[in-house]
Amino acid sequence: MLSRVANNLYWMGRYIERADHLARYSKANYFSSLDAPIVKAYDRSFVLESMLFMAGIFDMEEVNERDVLFRIGMDTQNSNSIISNITLARENARGARNAISTDLWEAINTYYHLVNNYPQEIYLTTGLYDFNQMILDQTSIVSSKIYGTLLHDGEWAMILIGMHIERAIQIIRIINSKLNDIYKIEQAGHPITEMSFEWTNLLRCLESFDMNRKFYRTIPAREQVLEFLMLNQNCPRSISYSLKGIRRYEEKISQNESSESNAISFKIRKLYEQYRYLSFDEYKDDIYGLLNSTQAKIIEIASELEKKYLSF
C-alpha cells in the first residue's frame, strides 16, 4: 500500500467519525435540554456553550443560537465543522479511489452532496434535527459499505484504525463536555441527586442509554455511566472498546513486523491493557486527569502512526 493511499484512507475514516460525533452531540444535547428538569440545563446559552465546548470553539465573543449552529454545522471556513469534515472525507476518498469500492465511493459522494445541498436557512431555523439525523444515517450507510464491500485487508484496517482513533478522542471530548456541564450545574446550587438527567443525556449523546439500562438496570448515576463509557469492553461507544479496535487494526497493518521492533504496537497494547484491568475506584477522584492523559497518549500514538505509515 502506498503511503499516499494509506494517508487518504486513514483521514477519510477520521473525518467521517468526527462529523458523526459532532452531529450526535449537537442533536442529543440540544433537544434533550427542551425537557430538562433543571433550570440551568434548560437555559439556551448553557446548551450552546456546551456544544461549543465539545466542538473546540472558544473564540466566539457573543453566543447566539444562529451563529453557534452555523459554526458547528455549515461554516466552510471552520475546518472542524460538520460540512468541512464531510468535504475532507470525500476529498480523501477521491485520493484513494482505486483502493475503495464503487459502492463506498458512491455512498460518500451522496453523503457529501446531501450535506452541501442542505438549505442553510432551514438548518438554522427548523432543520437542526433533520440535518443531524441525516448525518447519523449517512454515516451508518458509509460504515456499512466499509465493512460490507471492501476486502478485509491492510487498506480496510487503515480506514478503521483512523475511525477508532477519532472515536476514542471524540468520546473523551464528549465526556469532558458533560462533566463541565455538570460542574456548572453544581456551581449554580443544584444538588448531586438531581444530576441523573445529565448522566442520561451523556449516554444519549453516545447512543448508549438503552444498553446502559440493560447492563445496570438502575437509574443512570455518575459511577456507572463513567464506568460504562470508559471501561466496558462490549460497549461500541466506550474508550476501552475503541482502544481494542485501535489495537486490532494496527496488528492487521503491522502483521509482518516483529513485536520487539514495533514501538507503536507496544504503546497501543500498553494503553489498552491499562483500561482492560482498570477499576473505577482507581480513578474516581481524578476523572479529568485520566481522560486528559488518555487523550494525550492516543494523540501521541496517532502522530507516531502517521510518521511510520503515512509520510510520503
Q: What is the pLDDT of residues 173-226, one digit of tens each?
A: 999 999 999 888 888 887 776 688 889 999 999 999 999 999 999 999 999 999
Vertex 132 angle, CA 128 and 137, to 5°: 145
Element of type H or E holding 103: helix 102-116
What are φ and ψ of residue 11, in 5° steps? -75, -30
pLDDT on residue 193: 67
> Using an 8 Å Cβ cutoff, are 179 and 202 in contact?
no
3-class secondary structure, 150: coil
pLDDT on residue 202: 94
Shortest CA distance to 263 belongs to which of 309, 304, 306, 296?
304
What range does the domain containing 15 cover?
A: 3-310
Per residue in 64-92, pLDDT (tens digit) is 999 999 999 999 999 999 999 999 999 99
Cell of 217: 438496570
**How confident is the prediction along the chain (312 residues), in pLDDT tens digits per residue?**
789 999 999 999 999 999 999 999 999 999 887 776 665 555 788 899 999 999 999 988 888 999 999 999 999 999 999 999 999 999 999 999 999 999 999 999 999 999 999 999 999 999 999 999 999 999 999 999 999 999 999 999 999 999 999 999 999 999 999 999 988 888 888 777 668 888 999 999 999 999 999 999 999 999 999 999 999 999 999 999 999 999 999 999 987 676 655 789 999 999 999 999 999 888 988 999 999 999 999 999 999 999 998 986
pLDDT on residue 96: 96
Residue 170: which residues within 8 A CB-CB, separation 6 or more? Answer: 17, 18, 21
How many domains does the chain fold into?
1
DSSP 309: I
Cell of 78: 471552520
- Look at the pTM and tell me if it is higher than 0.85: yes
160-172 core/surface letters (b: 16 or more CB in 10 A; e: else):
bbbbbbbbbbbbb
pLDDT on residue 41: 56
